[in-house]
Chain A
């Protein structure tokens, strides 16, 4: 088997679709693959060069290739091959099935992100579309909490209610760090639209992660939280 045949098999790409471009330089440990359908004359080898019509390209995260992220660039196909996806969705059909199966098994969204190396934003978008369509996660009991950070820290645990209170505006503090001002603005706007408790918790975890990461720059902010 040739190397390119292996890639076709791994991705499940079959005629009339073709891999037209591969890039490995767009992100760390990331392979971007462009897949297009032959236009004009029919045939696998003899048609005109396939390309993705301008303005129609969709970008989906596919199942990892080894330890590398795989990102597919293509157009929506009505035949829905596994490497393809829905318009505006973050994942290919194959990745969506995998994520959905993990959700059904009650795996925490945070763990899914870590296991599959996907972003919280993408998972949230996917889950939001499920919630507004046909599926929900509210019936699934939350899994056990992740191990807490053992080192000494002034930062409250990630499950402390203070993080959600900060995000929903129940608690306000004076913020000096510019990046925290931006992040809080973004998360507060997002959480206004989120009703699912698990996704709200994910947003709280995102804020917690920022504070842990920037603890040494947040004396002013943490001293206010300590007085609450």
Chain B
């Protein structure tokens, strides 16, 4: 089988792949996606990428992941907020699903808060990313997803591609998260939410905004929780000192113990050290816009892993400041 085509490319080259009948995941600026012909692709808006030669911002090129077909054809569809909870149940018995969700829309918040309780969650591989916009366009344009089969763009729906695999192959999803829980007090919350004020610090009632401000804590550092050995981040979006509330890029959950992450001296060198040896090729991967910005990744490479730089990463559930990737084994 020929090696799948993956990388940052011109709209014209992507159009050729679409016309050849390839199944594709495509990330690009809205105007670039609009130029693509109809075909077997899903997409989302974002102009930030990790390309072969390093981090780059481009409005006229798109990042393409070709999806290898092993027999049965993948299926592509839009999901609304009501059908999103069925995503894992409807996924192939053996295979994987790529999900693209537009940031700030109803699917984004619903997925973020409820995905861990979806039927069949964690039983079937689910990976994906959150579409965004150029930061200069915030407030002027909305992030969107694209259904290639019709050319429809939507800021209200999510888009998925279900990829069946033969019995001898299986999909594996993993993450690279450089952040580790720091030595500060354990932070817990009473409720699920994208914002919080009241919390418990080391078991005592406290206010998170007060804690961050009083300690002059670098809010580029995420809250990190230990999920049975997986460090899972919740990134801090803003502190409203007057309202004594902290906004996040992903929800915090009750029953989970968070700590402010240990600072990172150099993301790129730490990434190189943390990068696992990956057998075979990566079918899909993406990294976080916050890593791109905070670690100034423009022009810098993160090993051989390339892909869109996104407003959120999905490895089963919504993640922040984390690289996610999927490989096919067997």
Q: Does B287 contact A (CB under 8 A)?
A: no
Q: Does A181 contact B (CB under 8 A)?
A: yes
Q: Does A213 contact B (CB under 8 A)?
A: yes
Say yes or no: B175 contacts A178, CB within 8 Å: yes
* Chain B residues within 8 Å of chain A by Cβ, number: 27
Measured in the bound complex, the distance between the Cα atoms of B314 and A177 in whole Å is: 16
Say yes or no: B230 contacts A181, CB within 8 Å: yes
Say yes or no: B227 contacts A185, CB within 8 Å: yes
Instruction: Write the residues of chain B forming the contact surface with A, with a CB cutoff of 8 angstroms.
Output: 82-83, 86, 89-90, 116-117, 119, 122-123, 125, 170, 172-175, 227-230, 255-256, 315-317, 329-330
The interface residues of chain A, by DSSP majority, are classed as helix
Say yes or no: B119 contacts A28, CB within 8 Å: no
**Considering only CB atoms, which chain A residue lies closest to B125 in the complex?**
A179
A177 contact set on B, CB distance < 8 A: 172
Measured in the bound complex, the distance between the Cα atoms of B255 and A23 in whole Å is: 36
Say yes or no: B83 contacts A27, CB within 8 Å: yes
Say yes or no: B82 contacts A182, CB within 8 Å: no
Known: A178-B230, A182-B317. A121 touches B117 (CB 8 A): yes
B116 contact set on A, CB distance < 8 A: 182, 186
Task: Choose among A23, A28, A178, A186 the residue that contacts B315 (Cβ–Cβ < 8 A).
Answer: A178
B149 to chain A, nearest CB (A): 15
Say yes or no: A213 contacts B123, CB within 8 Å: yes
Q: Does A25 contact B (CB under 8 A)?
A: yes
Q: Does A175 contact B (CB under 8 A)?
A: yes
Say yes or no: A182 contacts B227, CB within 8 Å: yes
Say yes or no: A182 contacts B86, CB within 8 Å: no
Measured in the bound complex, the distance between the Cα atoms of B83 and A30 in whole Å is: 11
A-B contact pairs, 17 of them (CB 8 A): A26-B86, A27-B86, A27-B89, A28-B86, A178-B174, A179-B123, A179-B173, A182-B122, A182-B316, A182-B317, A184-B228, A186-B116, A186-B122, A189-B255, A210-B122, A216-B170, A217-B170
Say yes or no: B86 contacts A30, CB within 8 Å: yes
Q: Does A119 contact B (CB under 8 A)?
A: yes
B206 to chain A, nearest CB (A): 22
Measured in the bound complex, the distance between the Cα atoms of B316 and A189 in whole Å is: 18
A30 contact set on B, CB distance < 8 A: 86
Query: How does the 8 Å CB contact mask read for A192-228 relative to B, with 1 for contact and 0 for none?
Result: 1000000000000000011001001100000000000
Measured in the bound complex, the distance between the Cα atoms of B243 and A189 in whole Å is: 31
Instruction: Write the residues of chain A forming the contact surface with B, with a CB cutoff of 8 angstroms.
Output: 23, 25-28, 30, 32, 119, 121, 174-175, 177-186, 188-189, 192, 209-210, 213, 216-217
**Considering only CB atoms, which chain B residue lies closest to A121 in the complex?**
B117
**Considering only CB atoms, which chain B residue lies closest to A174 in the complex?**
B229
B172 contact set on A, CB distance < 8 A: 177, 217
B329 contact set on A, CB distance < 8 A: 217
Measured in the bound complex, the distance between the Cα atoms of B173 and A180 in whole Å is: 11
Say yes or no: A182 contacts B230, CB within 8 Å: yes
Measured in the bound complex, the distance between the Cα atoms of B176 and A47 in whole Å is: 58
Measured in the bound complex, the distance between the Cα atoms of B170 and A213 in whole Å is: 11
B229 contact set on A, CB distance < 8 A: 174-175, 181
B256 contact set on A, CB distance < 8 A: 185, 189
A32 contact set on B, CB distance < 8 A: 82
A177 to chain B, nearest CB (A): 8
**Considering only CB atoms, which chain B residue lies closest to A172 in the complex?**
B228
7 closest cross-chain pairs (CB), A and B: A27-B86, A185-B227, A181-B228, A181-B230, A183-B122, A26-B83, A179-B122
